[in-house]
């Protein structure tokens, strides 16, 4: 049997999985919208739509409309940067991606859970870099200031206190703490937990055991997922679990259920005692980054200090550019299905002073990773079992 070509596959997949996303299955080359010199085609829309999560979809749009607004904004940013003579190199994307992959071990976990591809992650990183370039007018960090920033952080602990949340820690951009990846499962009581541990030792299938304990799919979805967590943060927020995992080697299960106080399922302001069983999957030792490896993150920090209003400036510049493009009739929604909902989104961008995305959409770089490290915090496990 002759294999299906890409066009046929796209039509088959879209007709079964995303019947409300695309306008038809005529051709992946069909133009859905035009932004400046770029034509958004059906294939590009489909690829973006499959990345959309339900929580990101506004009430007045479907996944296709949400994807289209995100694509329009991405291409507006690219066109705006081009009009200013700004560009982002593949090397910049590669360096930031490399840094984030090493610093934030949850990147791969988030990609796996969201279905995001490496290519779409690189596109999101590029969008973040473009935003920062517009917001800072492509300013360059002074090498001596970057070195000073590095030396300051090099002598500080991996987790830095933040005034906004005294109980939390902000990541040191040049020092990654010790990380462990774990799987945990809440159990009703100690006796059941002991039986569960024996079951897990046979095949390690957390999902199967979770379904046996609770057939509700929503309860199983986030249970037993491999999750990276800072030992430091875990010790602060779930000390009983951290103490249990500290005794394990890679691949081992907790010898008995661990009692840990967690946020109540019915009242987030209260704590309740819940038993957990768990497995230590892998250990990652603490890592001190060289100045060269962390340079791109340090450059962002230096420039962000000097350009504290860069996000506001970026939004203003994008808004002005969008207004001119719209006036010149260079933003067109050709697909009838989206002319109202997405058209209204474009009009709101034109009318506003800051071109941001609608509530629920990937309004800033399609959910792209921030140029600087994310906070080095890990929430304490909830009664639902997600660490």
- The pLDDT tens digits for 286-300 are 999 999 999 999 999
Residues near 3 by Cβ (< 8 Å), separated by ≥ 6?
A: none
Q: 163 falls in which pLDDT band (50, 70, 90)?
A: low
pLDDT of residue 374: 40
Q: What are the angstrom distances between the C-alpha of 312 and each of 164, 273, 308, 309, 353?
A: 21, 45, 9, 5, 10
Residues near 254 by Cβ (< 8 Å), separated by ≥ 6?
A: 197, 244, 245, 248, 276, 277, 278, 279
pLDDT of residue 168: 60
- The pLDDT tens digits for 75-89 are 999 999 999 999 999
Enter the DSSP assignment of 382. B
Q: How far apart are CA 285 and CA 288, in angstroms?
A: 10
Q: Which one has a higher pLDDT value, 277 or 226? A: 277
- The pLDDT tens digits for 345-380 are 888 888 876 544 443 333 333 333 344 444 343 444
End-to-end CA distance of the chain: 47
3-class DSSP assignment, residue 326:
helix
Fold of 6-139+307-367: Triger factor/SurA peptide-binding fold (1.10.4030)
Of 307, 262, 297, 255, which is closest to residue 278 (Cα–Cα)?
Answer: 255
Residue 318 scores a pLDDT above 90: yes
- The pLDDT tens digits for 177-216 are 999 999 999 999 999 999 999 999 998 999 899 888 887 7
Q: How far apart are CA 259 and CA 257, in angstroms?
A: 7
Residue 283 scores a pLDDT above 70: yes
pLDDT of residue 7: 37
- The pLDDT tens digits for 127-160 are 999 999 999 999 999 999 999 999 999 999 887 7
Dihedral over Cα of 119, 125, 129, 134: its sign:
positive
Q: How far apart are CA 380 and CA 91, in angstroms?
A: 37
pTM of the model: 0.74
Of 37, 327, 1, 51, which is closest to residue 21 (Cα–Cα)?
Answer: 51
Average pLDDT value over all residues in the chain: 81
Of 156, 147, 151, which is closest to residue 175 (Cα–Cα)?
Answer: 156
Enter the DSSP assignment of 216. -
Sheet (strand 179-187) strand order:
227-230, 179-187, 271-284, 258-263
Runs of H (alpha helix) within the chain: 6-17, 42-49, 63-83, 90-103, 107-114, 118-135, 143-154, 190-203, 206-213, 217-221, 231-237, 239-245, 291-306, 310-327, 341-351
181 beta partners: 228, 282
186 beta partners: 276
Question: What is the number of helices (H) and of strands (E) in the chain?
Answer: 15, 11
Q: 221 falls in which pLDDT band (50, 70, 90)?
A: confident
- 178-285, which class in CATH? alpha beta
Residue 59 scores a pLDDT above 50: yes
pLDDT of residue 6: 38
Q: Show me where the domains of the chain are located.
A: 6-139+307-367, 178-285
């Amino acid at each position: 049997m002759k294999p299906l070509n890409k066009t046929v596959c796209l039509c088959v997949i879209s007709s079964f999985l995303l019947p409300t996303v695309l306008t038809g299955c005529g051709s992946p080359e069909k133009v859905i919208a035009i932004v400046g010199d770029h034509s958004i085609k059906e294939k590009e829309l489909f690829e973006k739509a499959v990345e959309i999560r339900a929580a990101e979809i506004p009430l007045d749009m479907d996944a296709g409309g949400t994807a289209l607004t995100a694509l329009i904004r991405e291409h507006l940013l690219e066109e705006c940067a081009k009009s200013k003579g700004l560009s982002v190199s593949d090397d910049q994307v590669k360096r930031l991606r490399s840094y984030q992959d090493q610093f934030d071990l949850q990147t791969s976990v988030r990609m796996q859970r969201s279905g995001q591809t490496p290519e779409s992650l690189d596109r999101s990183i590029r969008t973040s870099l473009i935003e920062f370039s517009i917001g800072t007018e492509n300013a360059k960090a002074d090498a001596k200031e970057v070195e000073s920033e590095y030396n300051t952080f090099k002598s500080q602990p991996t987790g830095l206190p933040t005034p906004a949340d005294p109980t939390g820690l902000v990541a040191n951009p040049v020092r990654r703490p010790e990380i462990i990846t774990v799987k945990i499962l809440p159990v009703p009581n100690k006796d059941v937990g002991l039986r569960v541990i024996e079951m897990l030792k046979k095949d390690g299938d957390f999902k199967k055991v979770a379904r046996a304990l609770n057939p509700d799919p929503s309860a199983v979805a986030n249970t037993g997922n491999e999750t990276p967590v800072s030992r430091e943060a875990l010790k602060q927020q779930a000390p009983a679990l951290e103490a249990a995992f500290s005794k394990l080697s890679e691949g081992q299960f907790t010898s008995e259920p661990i009692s840990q106080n967690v946020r109540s399922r019915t009242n987030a302001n209260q704590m309740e005692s819940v038993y957990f069983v768990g497995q230590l999957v892998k250990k990652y030792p603490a890592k001190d980054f060289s100045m060269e490896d962390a340079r791109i993150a340090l450059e962002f920090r230096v420039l962000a200090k000097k350009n504290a209003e860069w996000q506001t400036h970026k939004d203003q510049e994008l808004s002005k550019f969008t207004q001119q493009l719209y006036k010149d009739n260079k933003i067109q929604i050709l697909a009838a299905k989206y002319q109202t909902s997405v058209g209204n989104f474009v009009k709101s961008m034109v009318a506003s002073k800051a071109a941001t995305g609608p509530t629920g959409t990937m309004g800033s770089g399609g959910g792209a990773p921030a140029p600087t490290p994310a906070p080095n915090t890990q929430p304490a496990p909830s009664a639902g079992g997600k660490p």
